[in-house]
Amino acid sequence: MIPEPATFPEPIQPTGMLAFGSYPWDQWERAALAGGLGRELATLGRAIMREASQHCWCERLQAECGWSDGGRAMLARALGQPVRTAARWNWLMQTDGQRFEPWNHDEYHEDSPCWKYFRAKWNREQATAPSRSTSSPITSNI
């Protein structure tokens, strides 16, 4: 269940200097936890929302990372497809919003066609990497 709209930071304004824990990404994380998202994925979502703003990701990625709707679509996606969402968010973190490929950190434009190749390579590597071990499931807020 997605929390009532009043629990979301809306509208999102430029952040400036706010008190610790008062930023939109902090508000989003609290709303996500209240909505039943597991702590690990909620924390990753918070980081994604923050990085999109702080690192001036392109407008399309900022919208994907909650800046156009107070994070509602982000939370719905995370609740509905937690594994795919975690994979996408980890990819965005590793590439700083599709700016730097994750191996040599060479810079590319976020709309470059090379990202399709890079993402396929990344997916292959992740599929063969040892599975991560966590003490709690990524999808539940226990």
Query: Does residue 133 sit within a domain?
Result: no
Query: Does residue 36 sit within a domain?
Result: yes
Whether the per-residue pLDDT at 131 is higher than 90: the answer is no
pLDDT at position 14: 52
Domain of 88, in residue numbers = 23-97
Whether the per-residue pLDDT at 1 is higher than 50: the answer is no
CA distance 76 to 67: 14
CA distance 101 to 94: 8
pLDDT at position 21: 76
Query: Does residue 58 sit within a domain?
Result: yes
What torsion do the CA atoms of 61, 33, 94, 12 make, to the nearest 10 degrees?
Answer: 30
Contacts 24+ apart (CB under 8 A), 53-58: 53/15, 53/24, 53/25, 55/96, 55/97, 55/99, 57/96, 57/97, 57/99, 57/110, 58/97, 58/98, 58/110, 58/111
- DSSP SS3 for 100: strand
Query: Does residue 118 sit within a domain?
Result: no
Domain count, the chain: 1
- pLDDT tens per residue across span 7-65: 554 445 555 677 777 799 999 999 999 999 999 999 999 999 999 999 999 999 999 99
Q: Give the closest residue to 38 by CA, choosing from 111, 140, 125, 112.
A: 140
Q: Average of pLDDT values for 108-121?
A: 93
Query: Does residue 81 sit within a domain?
Result: yes
pLDDT at position 31: 95
- pLDDT tens per residue across span 59-106: 999 999 999 999 999 999 999 999 999 999 999 999 999 999 999 999
